[in-house]
Amino acid sequence: MASDVAKTIILSKKGSLRKQFLYKTFRSEIFLPVLAFLVFITLWQFILQLLNIPSYLLPKPTDIASAAFENGTNLIESVLTTAIESIFGFLLSVIIGVSSAVLLASSRIIEKSIYPYAIILQTIPIVAIAPIIVIWFGAGINSIIVITFLISFFPMLSNTLIGLHSTDQNLKNLFYLYNANRWQLMWRLRIPGALPYIVGGLKVSCTLSVIGAIVGEYIAGIGGSQGGLGYAITSAAMRLETPYLFACGLSASLLGISFFLVVNYISKRLLSSWHESEMKTEN
């Protein structure tokens, strides 16, 4: 009987602690940012109304919402086009970036021979090689995906390579003690140990992919119904439709945030059970 009462008290304490934890999490991660956003939007609206600033110079939040609603169909099509381009470019950067890092990490000679050229490729302005990309792949989605890949590729390569070189030496010695070959060491130790670094590269590359897609649409995009946010932003700027210009920019930002949240969820699933960066409490 006494043990049952003790168990009940312990469970109730655990429940109350869990509720307090969830409340603090909600307050710090959701409530406070939403409150700050509402205060900012309110001040933006009333200050512009007070100063009577024209909407073509700086639109009010209500003007932006109205423009987004009036052009809702075109805006959704532009967002979907940019999202598809971003996803393909991002996936390409992940596959090639991680594969290249594994290849470079497998041999110091290969790394010293090739890695400097990856750095050089990263430092070349994309507008300088964009005409060549358009000549090779043609104007449209193919060139945009290539440009997106080039912009988001290097964080995946560099972060993965750093992670592969950060393997604990004692664990390496243990694998050598059990006569593990080079590829067993890579697949069973170095790549799992590099996961936190790979996830860091994913978080950077997923947001850069949206930027890369919009930049690609500026350089190699096509207009009309097949145009993405880059084309929509250019058209709105030429027509001085500033509220719709803001709506397109905010849509691009929300798209990048959505990609980041998806990658962040995946990282929590991968790392929450064993890595300190995602563990809330010690097991």
Confidence of residue 235 (pLDDT cuts 50, 70, 90): confident
Give the torsion sign (CA, 140, 142, 143, 148).
positive
Per-residue pLDDT of 100-138, as tens digits, reads 999 999 888 988 889 999 888 888 888 888 888 988 988
Residue 177 corresponds to which tokens in the numbers above? 């003690």
Q: Which domain holds residue 1?
A: 1-52
Residues 126, 120 contacting (CB under 8 angstroms): no
Instruction: Give me 203's structure tokens.
Output: 């978080």
Long-range contacts of 257-260 (CB under 8 A, 24+ apart): 259/86, 259/90, 259/206, 259/207, 259/209, 259/210, 260/203, 260/206, 260/207
Q: What proportion of the chain, given as a percentage, has pLDDT over 90?
A: 39
Work out the pLDDT band at 174, boundaries 50, 70, 90.
confident
Answer whether residue 269 shows pLDDT above 60. Answer: yes
Task: Give how many domains the chain has, as a whole number.
Answer: 2
Q: How far is Cα 167 from Cα 194, in angstroms, rounded to an integer?
A: 7
Classify residue 94: in a domain, yes or no.
Answer: yes
Q: How many CA atoms lie within 13 A of 241 on its CB side?
A: 19
Residues 165 and 89 in one domain: yes
Same domain, residue pair 74 and 33: no
Question: Do residues 88 and 220 both lie within one domain?
Answer: yes
| 277 found inside a domain | no
Q: Are residues 130 and 1 in the same domain?
A: no
Q: What is the mean pLDDT of residues 131-155?
A: 90
What is the pLDDT confidence band of residue 95, given thresholds at 50, 70 and 90?
Answer: very high
Distance separating alpha carbons of residues 245 and 235, to the nearest angstrom: 9
Residue 25's contacts (CB-CB under 8 Å, 6 or more residues apart) are none
Residue at 245 is within a domain: yes
CB atoms within 10 A of CB 250: 14
Residue 281 lies in a domain: no
- Judge if 76 and 156 occupy the same domain: yes
> pTM of the prediction?
0.82
Please state at what angle helix 195-220 crosses helix 229-238, rounded to 10 degrees.
Answer: 40
- 86-121 burial by CB neighbour count: b if 16+ within 10 A, else e? bbbbbebbbeebbebbbebbbeeeebeeebeebeee
How would residue 5 be classed by pLDDT, with cut points 50, 70 and 90?
A: very low
Is residue 227 classed as helix, strand or coil in its secondary structure?
A: coil
**pLDDT in the model for residue 82:** 93
Main-chain dihedrals φ then ψ at residue 52, nearest 5 degrees = 55, 50
Residue 279 lies in a domain: no
Q: Are residues 184 and 243 in the same domain?
A: yes
In angstroms, what CA-CA distances link 258 with 25, 76, 198, 263? 20, 15, 19, 9
Is the confidence at residue 9, as pLDDT, over 60? Answer: no
- Expressed in angstroms, the distance from the first to the final Cα of the chain is 29
DSSP 8-state assignment for residue 58:
S
pLDDT for position 96: 95
Q: What distance in Å separates the CA atoms of residue 161 and residue 102, rounded to the nearest whole number?
A: 7
Mark whether 3 and 141 lie in a shared domain. Answer: no
Tell me, yes or no, whether 159 lies in a domain.
yes
Torsion of CA 255, 257, 258, 262, to 10 degrees: 140
147 shares a domain with 7: no
Q: What pLDDT is attached to residue 29?
A: 66
Q: How many Cβ atoms sit within 10 Å of the Cβ of residue 238?
A: 9
| 89 and 225 fall within a common domain | yes
Q: Tell me the CATH number at 216.
A: 1.10.3720.10
Instruction: Give the model confidence (pLDDT) of 26-62 as tens digits.
Output: 555 677 778 888 899 999 989 988 988 888 888 999 9
- Tell me what the pLDDT averaged over the chain comes to: 83
